[in-house]
Amino acid sequence: MKLIVTRHGETEENKKGILMGHTPGKLSNLGKEQAKKVALRLKDEKIDYIYSSDLARAVDTAKEIKKFHQNSILVLTENLRECDLGIHTGKSYNSLDWNTRPKECEDRISMKKRVKELLDDVYTKYPNKTVLFVAHDGINKQIFKLIMDQPVDFKIESQSNTAINIFELCEDKNHKIHLMGCTKHLE
């Protein structure tokens, strides 16, 4: 299965350094442009299914991409939601010590588990198709760790909004990485 993973466009909250967690988020003007640019970049890809986080910032990005893929099926799922930040939602990113993850935040093991369930289900249903995931930085990192067979605390750099990642997933788990963190479409 070919899996394409991207992050939503920039939000008003991203600009202000606000932690969004499970809140919808609103694409900024730049974020709307980024969504259009990633849609143009992906227009020639054959995408059979688009799975998106059900949060507005990801849905709005996915809808831009779907404009070029009218025959693809759009599926909204909570499994691609960003980390649940609990009482820290709405606070400044810099207000937390990310080296000692606050206990009120969803743990990485839980995030990785929900992504694994989704990835296993999607791979079982569509092993020979191309699937696009539109999600968030934190949850995308857990997808990458699953594909690369890395532990939940393995460090992966944050990705820019609408960065593109392309993988070839194989039944024998010998997955191939074709592209990581590409933002050429934003230049």
pLDDT one-digit tens code per residue, 59-76: 999 999 999 999 999 999
Average the pLDDT over 92-103 and give the result: 78
The pLDDT of residue 62 is 98
What end-to-end distance do the CA atoms of the chain give, in Å? 29
Share of the chain above pLDDT 90, in %: 85
The pLDDT of residue 106 is 92
The pLDDT of residue 137 is 95
Put residue 134 in one of left, alpha, beta given phi > 0 → left and psi -120 to 50 → alpha.
beta
Average the pLDDT over 79-92 and give the result: 92
Cβ atoms of 175 and 167 closer than 8 Å: yes
The pLDDT of residue 39 is 98
Does 152 score more than 90 pLDDT? Answer: no
Average the pLDDT over 162-186 and give the result: 96
Does 118 score more than 90 pLDDT? Answer: yes
- Return the sign of the alpha-carbon dihedral for residues 103, 109, 110, 115: positive
CA–CA separation, 159 and 186 (whole Å): 13
CA–CA separation, 117 and 48 (whole Å): 20
Average the pLDDT over 80-108 and give the result: 86
CA–CA separation, 127 and 61 (whole Å): 25
pLDDT digits (tens, 9 = 90+) for 24-54: 999 999 999 999 999 999 999 999 999 999 9
Query: What is the full DSSP assignment across the chain?
Result: -EEEEEEPPPBHHHHHTB--TTS---B-HHHHHHHHHHHHHHTTS--SEEEEESSHHHHHHHHHHHTT-TTSEEEEEGGGPPP--GGGTTSBGGGS-TTS--TTSPPHHHHHHHHHHHHHHHHHH-TTSEEEEEE-HHHHHHHHHHHTT--TT-------TT-EEEEE--TTS--EEEEEEE-GGG-
Task: For tokens 């990581």, name the residue.
Answer: 180
Paired with 56 in beta bridges are none
Which domains, ranges and CATH numbers included, belong to the chain?
2-186 (3.40.50.1240)
The pLDDT of residue 184 is 97
Does 104 score more than 90 pLDDT? Answer: no
The pLDDT of residue 96 is 76
**Greater confidence, 166 or 91?**
166
